[in-house]
Amino acid sequence: MTTFDELLAEGAAVPTEGWDFSWFADRASEERPPWGYAGLVAQRSGTARAMLDVQTGGAEVLAQIPHAPPLLRATESWPPNLDLARPRLTALGGQVVQVEDTEPLPFEDGTFDLVVSRHPTVVLWDEIARVLRPGGTYLSQQVGKASVHELSEAMLGDFEPSDGRSPERAVAAAEGAGLRVRDLQTARLRMTFNDIAAVVHFLRKVIWIVPGFTVDAYRPQLELLHERIQTEGPFVAHSTRFLIEAGR
């Protein structure tokens, strides 16, 4: 049997670049939202003339579109993700631009008829509205309130989650920027972690679940959770997601 320390080392050694979660196969699982975000993006991209993917990660979603629009751009802030995104955008005839998530978008007003974003860390709604053409669409899958809260509590103890990521706030912010919300869907999705290596890798990769997470700092909590998994079986948590579509 693999020891606790071996599992910690394994989870700590997995690269965290991009949003490819294939390493978790057979070690962790998460239900997918019913709306199928990647499929929606692929469908919408087929009729777009100019498209922007904000905070593209490694351009994993764009890599799945069957036909790229004539103008295709993406933004990303983290250099390791940029290294993954660049060849994927180049293959599609597009470009990725390095820009911090909180900085203005480096594009002219009214450039894009489709702007998409999966799991943005922050949404600059005024900037989204600015770069959209009249009649344009913003389509985004976002992380909702209290996502994976059970795991956060296992590491941090009891606390009340912030409502800053709630769909209601997103709607208010979109409308405040002059956009009209056309669609809003929410989902609560079951997640399972089969071993502590999966927990460690997940917390290293999805850094907002436990801000500042390191194996050394949270070793006691990790050991308790490891013992719980060994005794009770997979640790169950729930992610929250919402899909928002807004138009100018």
pLDDT band at 232; cut points 50, 70, 90: very high
Copy the structure tokens of residue 142.
């976002």
pLDDT over 90 (residue 201): yes
Find how far residue 164's CA is from the centre of its chain.
Answer: 16
Copy the structure tokens of residue 62.
């764009």
Eight-state DSSP code of residue 14: S
pLDDT at residue 160 in the model: 84
pLDDT over 80 (residue 209): yes
- The alpha-helical segments, DSSP class H, found in the chain are 4-13, 37-45, 79-91, 125-131, 149-156, 167-176, 196-205, 219-232
62, amino acid identity: L
Mean pLDDT of 115-128: 97
pLDDT over 80 (residue 164): no
The model carries a pTM of: 0.92
∠153-4-190 over CA atoms, to 5°?
Answer: 40
Q: Which of 21, 101, 31, 29 is nearest to 61 (CA)?
A: 21
Domains and CATH numbers, the chain: 4-247 (3.40.50.150)
